[in-house]
Each structure stands twice: as C-alpha cells, then as structure tokens.
Amino acid sequence: MSSSIALSVDVLTDRAILIIALSVVALLAAGWRKPARASIRSPRARYGVPVVEQPVAPERRMGPIRRILALATTGALAVVTGTVVAVIAAIGAIWGVITLTDLLGR
C-alpha cells in the first residue's frame, strides 16, 4: 500500500516563503559578526629577505589590429559554442520525442 501526500499550491507557496525567510535570517546571522582585524606584518628584512625596488617598463596598450583580431576570435568562439549547445539540445529533444512516442505505442 503506497501512501501519497497531496499539497495544495497555497501550502507549497507558504512553505517556500518560510524557507526563503529562514535562509535570509541565517545569512544575516552569519554576516553579523565583525571581520577579523588585520594583523601587523613584520618587516621582511627581519627574515633576511632584501627588498629591492627596480623600475619597470610601462605597459603598452594593444594595437587596433590585435583588438580587432581579439574581437573576431571571441565572436568565432561564441558562434562555435552556440552551435555545439544547439546540437546537444536538439539531440536531447529528438531523443525525448522518440522515447515518448515509443511509449504511446505500447
């Protein structure tokens, strides 16, 4: 004998609201404490690691050709990714339709 529990949409909505409210309260309670204070760092020279500042060359900006190439590459990757996702979704839809129509014939 199997037992089933039937819940109305109103009861499910009320329970979902209760769960959401409790999760918000839990998040607020978890973030209520102050963060840990930063500790004082000892100087590196104390441990024998010398710190030497050296000048570096300024960063060069990408040229317009590299920017266009990057934009084209990003677009091509987006098209390929979209195509792969569409093929996978189509295969899944075809499999689902075939499976469900086979169940009708039984």
Report mean pLDDT in 10-residue bins for the chain, 106 residues: 71 91 88 65 62 87 93 96 96 92 78
What is residue 44's predicted lDDT score, i.e. its pLDDT?
A: 57
- Main-chain phi, psi angles of 71, to 5 degrees: -65, -45
What is residue 11's predicted lDDT score, i.e. its pLDDT?
A: 87
Q: Which amino acid, residue 64?
A: P
Task: Quote the CA–CA distance of 24 and 26 in Å, as a whole number.
Answer: 5
Nearest 10 degrees: Cα torsion 55, 61, 63, 67: 140
